[in-house]
Amino acid sequence: MSDTVAATLGELKQRAPSVALVGNPNCGKTALFNLLTGARQKVANYAGVTVERKMGQVRLPDGRTVSVIDLPGTYSLRPATLDEQVTLEVIEGRRAGEDVPDLIVAVVDATNLRMNLRLVLELRALGRPMVLALNMADVARDRGLAIDTAALAEELGCPVVETVGVRNDGHAQLLAQLGPSLTAAAGQHVPACINVSEETSLDNVLALQQQVRRILARVQPPVVAGKPRLDAQLDRWVMHPVVGPLLLAVLLFIVFQAVFSWASVPTDLIDSGMKALGAWVSEHMAAGPLRSLIVDGAIAGAGSVLVFLPQILILFAFILVLEDSGYLPRAAFLLDTLMGKVGLSGRAFIPLLSSFACAVPGIMATRTISNWKDRLTTIMIAPMMTCSARLPVYALLIAAFVPDTTMGPFNLRGLTLFALYLAGVLGSVLVAWLFKRLWHKSRYQPLMLELPPYRLPSLRNLGLGLWERARIFVRRVGTIIFALTVVLWFLATYPAAPAGAPGAAIQYSFAGHLGRLLEIVFAPIGFNWQIAIALVPGMAAREVVVGALGTVYALSAADDAVADALAPVIAHSWSLATALSLLAWFVFAPQCISTLATVKRETNSWRYPAAMAIYLFALAYLAAFVTYRVTLALTA
């Protein structure tokens, strides 16, 4: 859901009663939220997926509309991290313009009551209207955990319902309970703002533990220990000090190979479709500015970005499966020592991994890191993880310059892509290590992370996730990328060339002049004026560079020539040194306004995004310079 919708819902909440989903991390709050509201918020099998409060609406069977709030998971009402702080603020009604929620839905993982009940008891102590959702009821049933819901309801003094966050109607009982609970809550006095923070003493904690044990003894008969669970058997290999890292390397390697080898058929299909469309329009429209706008601007520009949809979807399919399987926190443990050596907290692993999809959620996910210096280091290096917006640029240049040959089991193009991802990771390791030296960080913080059970990735989740990614990508192509290529088309078309002037008309346009100016800065790293022009709109978002190059080269082509596919054109007109230099530039350059804006928001200061932009641009220029010069020397 977009922020705008969230804001409008925020206003609507003034009238509608509100229900907040509160619970331990990874117990299925967001899964239930999505079922209730029809939203598509991210659900994944590790702790700390949701880091901001999200709002949606649900219509109850009695016709009332209710605001539902999904919150970051928390282990207690005494927050240790920023995301947990968000949850507390919402419960206390301290967020600007928001009241205390009318009803708390305490969501618990039914397979782990021992851990989850502590927070429930803390919530109950607030004396607020509450419903308990025993989520993961399906898994609990499979494991033979027979929870006495009536006894639990009696103990807690609130209704208890069973839910299954991964089934279409898994929220039915909860939905039926919301109406009566809200009606009962309406009669109860709830202060406009409450304050739940209180000092914890060891006595309090022990008393809480004792209470949990007593309730458990009453509501859940002890399970007879059976054979060791599959999880433990799998972990013997996955977490093995030698086999584990090997497995991780193989896994990552397969991803990069797949991005190239599996995508070729659908990519070629879209590519020929675009070419055919361009040819058809050229044939059926009279020559003129409108035809040029459609063929050179829209089709050669935005259309050339669309070609990369299959590769992006393959990458996301792997990311989604990894996220849902429960493997990620295990990989974090495997790499914890290594990350500690370069000055990163093991907690940084998941935010950094998320940054491979996009740095924006990655940077937001650093809220789960409690130490400020650890968090800042992670934020500063997150943009070096290769986000999916770089994929079109990499794929274009690799297809143009790297032959499609195999070396043993390896595809050379996949290998090159792997090397580019690795370059980003190595760069970030270097920067993290420098931060460590700069700040004299020596204190090692042990990694405390909950290991979720392994789960077979749900096909429904995967399908919805991919659909969502496809929608986001196509919308980006249709909006920002299209708009920027049209602006570029305009700047590259006007003013028109004087009559009888030699060379392509684009050279006489605004963009042509600007390109020549910028070329002075970029010539030492081997960029020609076409690349220099494309980098300007590409500051907003990286994929725009591909569209911009498409438009610039289409306009540079001889008058009536149909825009050819971009890859062969640049293969023909750039040297290998220029191509490699541009790749090196893209590994580091912070060409993404949204990332910088997110850093500003998350650090509450312009200092950090400014420092980030400066150091990353400097690094990009340096890397491109070295790459260009070395390649020139080698190919001379």
Ligand X SMILES: Nc1nc2c(ncn2[C@@H]2O[C@H](COP(=O)(O)OP(=O)(O)OP(=O)(O)O)[C@@H](O)[C@H]2O)c(=O)[nH]1
Residue 458, beta-bridge partner list: none
| 8 A C-beta contact, residue 252 and residue 356 | no
Task: Pick what 45 binds: ligand X, Mg ion, none; C-beta below 5 to 8 Å, kind-dependent.
Answer: ligand X
Q: How is residue 160 annotated by DSSP?
A: E
Size of the site for ligand X (CB under 6 A): 29
| 8 A C-beta contact, residue 563 and residue 278 | yes
* Nearer to ligand X (CB atom), residue 266 or residue 453: 453
* Nearer to Mg ion (CB atom), residue 30 or residue 627: 30
Give the shortest CB-434-to-ligand X separation in angstroms.
Answer: 31
Give the integer Cα–Cα distance in Å for 611 and 120: 43
373 binds ligand X (CB under 6 A): no
* Angle between the N-to-C axes of helices 390-401 and 309-325, in degrees from 0 to 180, rounded to the nearest 10: 120
Please provide residue 562's backbone torsions phi and psi, each rounded to the nearest 5 degrees.
-70, 135
Give the shortest CB-400-to-ligand X separation in angstroms.
Answer: 39
Report the residue from 13, 18, 27, 30 that binds Mg ion according to the rule CB under 5 A. 30
* Angle between the N-to-C axes of helices 372-381 and 593-603, in degrees from 0 to 180, rounded to the nearest 10: 170
Task: Pick what 139 binds: ligand X, Mg ion, none; C-beta below 5 to 8 Å, kind-dependent.
Answer: ligand X
Give CB contacts under 8 A, 24+ apart, made by 2-6: 6/54, 6/55
The stretch among 38-46, 375-383, 421-429, 471-479 that binds ligand X (CB under 6 A) is 38-46
Q: What is the DSSP string of 95-125?
A: STT-PPPSEEEEEEEGGGHHHHHHHHHHHHH
Give the integer Cα–Cα distance in Å for 485 and 297: 6
Binding mask 60-89 for ligand X (x = CB under 6 A): ------------xx----------------
The angle subtended at Cα 168 by Cα 162 and Cα 171, nearest 5°, is 30
* Nearer to ligand X (CB atom), residue 30 or residue 378: 30
43 binds ligand X (CB under 6 A): yes
99 binds ligand X (CB under 6 A): no
485 binds Mg ion (CB under 5 A): no
Report the residue from 35, 49, 88, 263 that binds Mg ion according to the rule CB under 5 A. 49
48 binds ligand X (CB under 6 A): yes
Q: Is 561 exposed, middle or buried (0-12, 13-18, 19+ CB in 10 A)?
A: exposed
30 binds ligand X (CB under 6 A): yes
- How many separate helices (H) and strands (E) can be counted in the chain? 29, 8
27 binds Mg ion (CB under 5 A): no
The stretch among 37-45, 113-121, 349-357, 426-434 that binds ligand X (CB under 6 A) is 37-45
* Nearer to ligand X (CB atom), residue 412 or residue 462: 462
Specify the 3-state DSSP secondary structure of 187: coil
Report the residue from 9, 31, 91, 365 that binds ligand X according to the rule CB under 6 A. 31
369 binds ligand X (CB under 6 A): no
Q: Which of residues 120-139 bind ligand X (CB under 6 A)?
A: 135-136, 138-139
C-alpha dist (Å) from residue 59 to 19, 260, 539: 12, 45, 43
Q: How is residue 443 annotated by DSSP?
A: P
50 binds Mg ion (CB under 5 A): yes
Specify the 3-state DSSP secondary structure of 566: helix
Give the shortest CB-517-to-ligand X separation in angstroms.
Answer: 48
Interface with ligand X by CB under 6 A: which residues?
Answer: 23, 25-31, 43-45, 47-50, 72-73, 135-136, 138-139, 164-166, 170, 324, 455, 458, 461
Interface with Mg ion by CB under 5 A: which residues?
Answer: 29-30, 49-50
